[in-house]
Amino acid sequence: MSAAMDRASAAPQADLHDLSVTQLAGMLRQRQLSAVEAAQHFLARIRAHQPLGAFLALNEDATMSQARAADARLAAGTGGALEGVPLAHKDIFVTRDWPSTAGSKMLSGYRSPFDATVVAKLKDAGAVTLGKLNCDEFAMGSSNENSAQSPLGFTAPEPVKNPWDVSRVPGGSSGGSAAAVAARLTPAATGTDTGGSIRQPASFCGITGIKPTYGRASRYGMIAFASSLDQAGPMARSAQDCALLLSAMCGADPDRDSTSLDLPDEDFSRPLNDSIEGLRIGIPKEFFGAGLSADVRAALEAALKEYEQLGAKLVEISLPRTELSIPVYYIIAPAEASSNLSRFDGVKFGHRAAHYTDLADMYQKTRSEGFGDEVKRRIMIGTYVLSHGYYDAYYLQAQKIRRMIADDFQQAFALCDLIAGPVAPTVAWKIGEKSADPVANYLADIFTLPASLAGLPGMSLPVGFGAASMPVGMQLIGNYFSESRLLNAAHRFQSATDWHSRKPAGI
């Protein structure tokens, strides 16, 4: 068979975007597909689906030059695990060859002189960057309605649409990443999770995403929101793909992120197929209370039955301080944000007001113009809780409860190996439905915040559909460094079901 026919039978171009990262990597390695062809295919899809608002920036020259370099390595047989696989980055990661804005007007047109460590590591593994993905401004939000940047094809900011129903939000803050993966504009994407921003958009868009243990992946070059919580992770269609990506993303970065952990490199793909016979799955009763909508509960209960069929045992557990995670997070995260965002003052980089009278006026005008409402709200809350007289009453109290929340998890893990529950109380809501009510947005974070505050790994995997036929994700939370076990449990579920391979109509 000729090489061309071989290629045609192995990968009809129209279906390339339905292939998994694992399949694409295999075909690229076997040279049934070139990195240039793969990149061209996805760039064309991104252009065709601009109305979704998922992408903020492309640089086709940079993409194609990375793809050609990948092809050369593939030809020489020296490629990495992801050689030639296209992927896209949340615009919170700085990139040398694409603008890096964090979804903020403050960083319009900003170019970083270096790549974030996670970006560099994925590049080292051979991945080809397609472009940058929309996100909530400085990763603050749960719906991706807080971006101040105009997506490709738009001349003004526009919310990212959920590919399952374009009148609904994709979740946030990694909403562009989730929408792009669900719409098959990229086989995978990076995301960041401070309080749920990988898990919740993954759930809303019917894809799989994992936030590793705090410290697993370097934060260097991830534009900081709340440094004690921010973590990078992969978003893809399956746990198998996430495992492949996560293995490339993790690793100590001692000179650049002192909180990155010095652990041996781990191949998260290796234990994927291990049996889960006897796995004890903890069901926190506080995650299944009155706040959980009936449709989400029904999808989760069916998934838990499936887990029992696979040999897992369900154990009731308690995470008694679940409710407190909302006030605790919304004190600590804004406190850290108010400090991190003080660097945006119009002096060194980013936006600077055009007209001002003196230095103080320049700071004030620059920050008033550059930051959006949600970011200003958090800076004000953060400054307030850190100020003299309130620090003890709010910030220190929140830190103490944060420790108790982490301890509650340790008690739970004496009884179970993994914890399962909802990612969010409901399916994706309508665009505009909660945008006037910040507290309504905050409340929807209740099930993702506890693991974030404790620094634990957590993931979301699609387990069915709920109200309005929107995807429902299940959250799995593991103890520190148990990413392999989480991915193994998710992969076993995905080997027995096909929720993760469903796709939105018209995609």
User: How far is the C-alpha of 228 from the C-alpha of 382, rounded, in Å?
Assistant: 14
Q: Please give the single-letter amino acid code of residue 457.
A: P
User: How far is the C-alpha of 440 from the C-alpha of 442, rounded, in Å?
Assistant: 5
Interface with ligand GLN, residue 231, by CB under 6 A: no
Phi and psi of 356, rounded to 5°? -160, 160
- For 326-367, the three-class secondary structure string (H helix, E strand, C coil) is HHHHHHHHHHHHHHHHHHCCCCCCCCCCCCCCCHHHHHHHHH
Q: Please give the single-letter amino acid code of residue 446.
A: I
- Nearer residue to ligand GLN within complex by CB, 63 or 338: 338
Binding span for ligand GLN by CB under 6 A among 50-58, 136-144, 303-311, 354-362: 136-144
- Nearer residue to ligand GLN within complex by CB, 140 or 379: 140
User: How far is the C-alpha of 463 from the C-alpha of 480, rounded, in Å?
Assistant: 24
Cβ-count burial of 13 within 10 angstroms (0-12 exposed, 13-18 middle, 19+ buried)?
middle
Q: Which of 86, 99, 151, 196 binds ligand GLN (CB under 6 A)?
A: 196
Q: Least Å distance between CB 173 and ligand GLN?
A: 4
How big is the CA angle at 176 (ends 175 and 181), to the nearest 5 degrees? Answer: 100
Task: Examine the residue annotation and report whether 501 is marked as an active-site residue of this protein.
Answer: no
User: How far is the C-alpha of 292 from the C-alpha of 466, rounded, in Å?
Assistant: 12
Q: Least Å distance between CB 186 and ligand GLN?
A: 20
- Nearer residue to ligand GLN within complex by CB, 63 or 200: 200
For 95, residues 6+ apart whose C-beta sits below 8 A from its C-beta are 89, 112, 115, 116, 119, 129, 132
Question: How many of the chain's residues bind ligand GLN (CB under 6 A)?
Answer: 13
Interface with ligand GLN, residue 147, by CB under 6 A: no
- Nearer residue to ligand GLN within complex by CB, 442 or 481: 442
Residue 448 DSSP SS3: coil
Q: Which of 34, 100, 147, 173 is catalytic?
A: 173
Task: Examine the residue annotation and report whether 197 is marked as an active-site residue of this protein.
Answer: yes
- Nearer residue to ligand GLN within complex by CB, 173 or 494: 173
Alpha-carbon distances of 454 from 200, 219, 288, 468, rounded to whole Å:
17, 17, 20, 33
Q: Least Å distance between CB 174 and ligand GLN?
A: 7
Q: Least Å distance between CB 344 and ligand GLN?
A: 17
User: How far is the C-alpha of 335 from the C-alpha of 315, rounded, in Å?
Assistant: 36
Q: Please give the single-letter amino acid code of residue 439.
A: V
Binding span for ligand GLN by CB under 6 A among 9-17, 44-52, 96-104, 191-199: 191-199
Alpha-carbon distances of 361 from 345, 377, 443, rounded to whole Å:
11, 20, 36
Interface with ligand GLN, residue 341, by CB under 6 A: no
Q: Which of 40, 190, 197, 366 binds ligand GLN (CB under 6 A)?
A: 197
Query: Is the peptide bond preceding residue 325 cis, with omega within 30 degrees of 0?
Result: no
Task: Examine the residue annotation and report whether 400 is marked as an active-site residue of this protein.
Answer: no
- Nearer residue to ligand GLN within complex by CB, 204 or 307: 204
Long-range interactions of 433-442: CB distance < 8 A, separation 24+:
434/143, 435/143, 435/145, 438/374, 438/377, 441/141, 441/142, 441/143, 442/142, 442/326, 442/330
Q: Least Å distance between CB 136 and ligand GLN?
A: 7
Can you say whether residue 11 is alpha, beta or left, with left for phi > 0 and alpha for psi between -120 and 50 degrees? beta
Interface with ligand GLN, residue 195, by CB under 6 A: yes
Q: Which of 56, 140, 279, 331 binds ligand GLN (CB under 6 A)?
A: 140
Q: Which of 112, 173, 238, 494 binds ligand GLN (CB under 6 A)?
A: 173
- Nearer residue to ligand GLN within complex by CB, 225 or 480: 225
Interface with ligand GLN, residue 445, by CB under 6 A: yes
Q: Which of 149, 194, 475, 488 binds ligand GLN (CB under 6 A)?
A: 194
Interface with ligand GLN, residue 472, by CB under 6 A: no
Q: Least Å distance between CB 191 and ligand GLN?
A: 9
Q: Which of 90, 121, 123, 132 is catalytic?
A: 90
User: Which residues would be at the binding site for ligand GLN (CB under 6 A)?
Assistant: 139-142, 173, 193-197, 225, 333, 445
Residues designated catalytic: 90, 173, 197
